[in-house]
Amino acid sequence: MRFALPRRLRGLLAASLVVTALTTGCAAEDVPGAAGGSGGGGDGTFPVTLRTEFGDVTIPKRPQRVVALGWSDAETALALGVEPVGAADWLGVGGDGLGPWVNAEYTRPPAMLGTLEVNMEAVAGLRPDLILDTRSDGTRERYERLSELGVPVVGIPPGAKAYLTPWEKQLELVGKALGRSAEADRLRSDLEARFAQVRKEHPEFAGKHVVAGVRSADSYAAYVDGDGRVEFLKRLGFVNSPKIQRLAAKDQFTVTVSNERMDLLDGDLTLMFLIGRSPEEVTGDPLYQAVPSVRAGRSVLLSDKAVSDALSSASVPGMTYALDKVVPQFAEALAE
């Protein structure tokens, strides 16, 4: 099969796991990257079984060597007090893959792995006993390829679409898999309280139509319901633009906006992300400037990459950081 793990790698992983079992008998909290502490699969006990899109996954014991491959899986694990030994850098942050929105730090940086194309040899060499892939393309092909390593793979939850696992579900799955459910519950409660506070302080957000647009190298587009950026805005009281939502296609998290349909970017508030484009390429575009909400000053261009990436991460650390940065900008734009 095209994605079959080479026999040499299967042997390497099997031998490595034996060595790990013999040499890591110390307590979890003494092992870098270990999921130590209380909390976990509901009550912190193992084994724990999790439901995923591709069936139930059982984690027999508290994981010691976690590889985090899904979008924001690594920073979610780190927020729960667990340091992955390997991680993917979906947002292209570089270094250890942590953006400035993440307060926690690694004591030992993880090995950086692939995103769309995972470096299977590198993963095997890390001797993982758990792979987190809760937000990815969600294909069976990817899941089965990772499963060939012979360790539990926590993939996307049942019914989730590609890259659209909600932050709440990601947090729940990662928390249970690591034995950190109590910590996960606290993180969720704290963030939900922050959203509630913003809604109370800014009742003007309620019911306003927002367009979460993006300018990429190819074209303009807008995000649809289910995308983490839109769900963040909805948590603040906004409603995703009905004009955009009507055009949403199955299994797609954006709607392309052609030069002839720039009116689709108009709303009570227009928020614009950048991918591979400079702010000047948008502010200097007469087509964009002609959009009624932009012309009226009811737009926010996320020119600060750290803020844009934090919001796009759809993680607890990212959204917490983004709240402090973007809410004042939204309020100012709506006051125009």
Query: What pLDDT, in 10s, does the model give residues 50-65?
Result: 999 999 999 999 999 9
How many angstroms separate the CA atoms of 99 and 87, rounded? 13
* pLDDT, mean over the chain: 89
Q: How far is CA 336 from the centre of its chain?
A: 33
Measured between alpha carbons, how far is residue 106 from residues 90, 119, 208 in Å? 18, 22, 40
Question: In the CATH scheme, what is the code of domain 7-189?
Answer: 3.40.50.1980
Mutual angle of helices 167-178 and 316-334, in 10-degree steps: 160
Give residue 5's pLDDT band: very low, low, confident or very high (50, 70, 90): very low
Please state, in angstroms and rounded to a whole number, the distance separating the CA atoms of residues 52 and 138: 10
Other beta carbons within 10 angstroms of residue 159's beta carbon come to 8
- Does the pLDDT value for residue 209 go beyond 90? yes
Q: How far apart are CA 83 and CA 76, in angstroms?
A: 10
Whether the Cβ atoms of residue 219 and residue 265 lie closer than 8 Å to each other: no
pLDDT of residue 42: 54
For residues 104 and 205, give the distance between their C-alpha atoms in angstroms, rounded to a whole number. Answer: 31
Upper half-sphere CA count for residue 76 (Cβ side, 13 Å): 35
- What is the helix (H) or strand (E) element at residue 210, kind and residue range? strand 209-215
With bands split at pLDDT 50, 70 and 90, how would you rate the model's confidence at 48? very high
Map out the domains of the chain as residue ranges.
7-189, 202-334
Q: Rounded to whole angstroms, how far apart are CA atoms 318 and 246?
A: 29
Question: What top-level class would CATH report for the domain 202-334?
Answer: alpha beta
- How distant, in Å, are the alpha carbons of 93, 219, 225, 299 from that of 211? 26, 15, 11, 9
Give me the percent of the chain exceeding a pLDDT of 90: 84
Asked which of 27-41, 110-124, 171-185, 225-239 is least confident by mean pLDDT, the reply is: 27-41
Lowest mean pLDDT among 10-14, 77-81, 170-174: 10-14
Do the two domains 7-189 and 202-334 of this chain adopt the same fold? yes
